[in-house]
Structure 1
Amino acid sequence: MQRVLVIGPCGAGKSTLATILADRLKLPLFHMDQLNWNPGWIESSKDEITSKLHDIVATDRWLIDGTYDGTLGPRLDRADTVIYLDFPISLCVRRLLKRIWTYRGRSRPDMTEGCPERFDIAFLFYLIRWNSGPRIRTEARLKGHEDKMIRLRNPDELQRWMDSLPAVA
Structure 2
Amino acid sequence: MKIAIIGYSGSGKSTLANFLGQHYNCEVLHLDKIHFTSNWQERTVDEMTDDISTFMLQSDWIIEGNYSACLYEERMREADCIVYFNFNRVNCLYRAFRRYLTYRGKTRPSMAEGCNEKFDFAFVKWILLDGRSQKNVTKFKVVVKKYPDKTIVLKNQKQLNNYMKKVKKLL
**TM-score normalized with structure 1 length:** 0.91
Corresponding letter in the other structure for 1:156? K
Which residue, out of 119, 139, 144, partners 1:137?
139
Equivalent residue for 1:63?
A: 62
Corresponding letter in the other structure for 2:115? C
Equivalent residue for 1:24?
A: 23
Measure the CA separation in 2 of the matches of 1:69 and 1:108. 23
CA contact (8 A) 1:69 1:138 kept: no
Equivalent residue for 1:122?
A: 122
Aligned residue runs from structure 1 range 28-67, under 5 A: 28-67=27-66
Gaps of 5+ in 1: none
Kindly, what percent of the aligned residue pairs are identical? 32
Stretch of structure 1 that moved more, 121-130 or 25-34: 121-130
Query: Offset of 1:145 from its aligned partner?
Result: 1.8
Equivalent residue for 2:113?
A: 113
Corresponding letter in the other structure for 2:42? E
Distance 1:164 1:142, change over 3 A: closer
CA contact (8 A) 1:86 1:153 kept: yes
Which residue, out of 136, 149, 158, partners 1:156?
158
Query: Offset of 1:142 from its aligned partner?
Result: 4.5
Asked if 1:92 is matched to 2:99, the reply is: no
Residue 7 of structure 1 aligns to a residue whose secondary structure is strand
Measure the CA separation in 2 of the matches of 1:121 and 1:138. 25
Query: Offset of 1:138 from its aligned partner?
Result: 2.8
Distance 1:13 1:104, change over 3 A: same
Measure the CA separation in 2 of the matches of 1:79 and 1:58. 12
Residue 149 of structure 2 aligns to a residue whose secondary structure is helix
Measure the CA separation in 1 of the matches of 2:65 and 2:166. 23
Query: Offset of 1:104 from its aligned partner?
Result: 1.7
Residue 5 of structure 1 aligns to a residue whose secondary structure is strand
CA contact (8 A) 1:9 1:127 kept: yes
Gaps of 5+ in 2: none
Aligned residue runs from structure 1 range 73-88, under 5 A: 73-88=73-88
Residue 84 of structure 2 aligns to a residue whose secondary structure is strand
